[in-house]
Structure 1
Amino acid sequence: MAKITLGGTPVETSGQLPEIGEKAPEFHLTTTDLSTQKLSDLKGHKVVLNIFPSVDTGTCAQSVREFNKKAGKMNNTKVLCISRDLPFAQARFCGAEGLEHVLMLSDFKTGDFGKAYGLEFTDGPFEGLHSRCVLVLDENGIVTYTQQVKEVGDEPNYEASLDALLGE
């Protein structure tokens, strides 16, 4: 279990993120048009998993905007923004913001993604939601970078994520 903080108060997650060099676990998440997106469908692309509690919070919304601007335009790269928000809220946010370079995905149906990746909150006011994390995967779904943000209210390290995409 990762020990992180939410507003300075310690909270725990369901496990640990996949390790660098491991194959990322397969997932089935819901898109904003209610279809299913699988990780295996993205083979051949570099993938950024921008994971957060809810797009309806300032820091989460900012991370979607930043990855849309910075990584979303990179060649052969897919940016997946993942939360347990309903797909309708995710679609509304992207439409209002004019975001076109990220794919919003929801784990609302089962929460299996959060459990498989070890990042579901197991206590505190966000229990059941996802903690703020970033993973970068290569074209074969191998983890090349991870960050579990220590304080949930803080933004992820965008530059380190982008460097991992570039292989630096």
Structure 2
Amino acid sequence: MATITFQGKPIHTSGDLPAVGSQAPDFKLVSNRLKEVSLANYAGKRKVLNIVPSLDTPTCQTSTRKFNEKAARLENTVVLVISADLPFAQSRFCEAEGIKDVIPLSTFRSSFGKDYGVELTDSVLAGLTARAVVLLNEDDKVVYTELVSEIADEPNYEEVWDALKDI
């Protein structure tokens, strides 16, 4: 279990992010077409997992926009924005914002939050995911992780871009 903060108050996650160097846990997430997708859907590609609580919040929207700006220029890489939002809400946000270069996936019907150690277990946000970034190489090995210590803050984009250069 990790401790982060929400507006300065401590909250807890269900576990810890997968360790760098470990094999990423497989997942079943729900696409905007209500189909289950897993790591196998992105086989052979580098994966940026941009994990956010909800696309209905300003910080999550900002990080999704920033990843979308960079995603179009990344070779052999997919950027997955993962939230607890229903696929319908994710699609509305992406369409309204013109976001086409990230793939929104929902934790709806999924154990992803627990499997990746990011499910929030207490506070008013219990059941949502913490804000985190996990980078996977083409073989689904974890090469970088960041659990953002204050849920209202954005991830460290420069560290993410630097880590992607090293894969």
TM over 0.5: yes
Name the structure 1 match of 2:106.
106
Distance 2:161 2:19 in 1: 18
Q: Percent identity?
A: 51
Describe how 1:65-104 pairs up with structure 2 within 5 A. 65-104=65-104
Work out the number of aligned pairs and report it.
Answer: 167
- Aligned with 1:147: secondary structure? strand
Partner of residue 152, structure 1: 151
Change (3 A) 1:117 1:72: farther
Classify the secondary structure of the residue corresponding to 1:69.
helix
User: CA–CA distance in 1 between the matches of 2:83 and 2:29?
Assistant: 10
Q: TM-score, normalised by structure 2?
A: 0.97
Distance 2:16 2:157 in 1: 21
Superposed CA RMSD: 0.9
Contact 1:71 1:162 in 2 (8 A): no
After TM superposition, the score normalised by the length of structure 1 is 0.97
Q: Determine if the alignment matches structure 1 residue 37 to structure 2 residue 50.
A: no
State the distance in 2 between where 1:36 and 1:166 align.
Answer: 30
Task: State how far apart, in whole Å, the 2-side matches of 1:40 and 1:18 are.
Answer: 18
Q: Deviations over 1:33-85 (max 9, x none)?
A: 11121112212100000001000000000010000001343110000000110
- Structure 1 residue identity aligned to 2:20: I
Which runs of 5 or more structure 1 residues have no equivalent in the other structure? none
Q: Which runs of 4+ in 1 moved over 6 A?
A: none
In 2, Cα distance between equivalents of 1:72 and 1:135: 18
1:92 is aligned with what amino acid? Answer: R
Measured against aligned partners, the alpha-carbon deviations of 1:96-124 in whole angstroms (never above 9, x if no partner) come to 000110000001113x0000001100000
Contact 1:72 1:79 in 2 (8 A): no
Q: Aligned to 1:130, what secondary structure does the other structure show?
A: coil
Worse-superposed segment, 69-78 or 154-163: 69-78
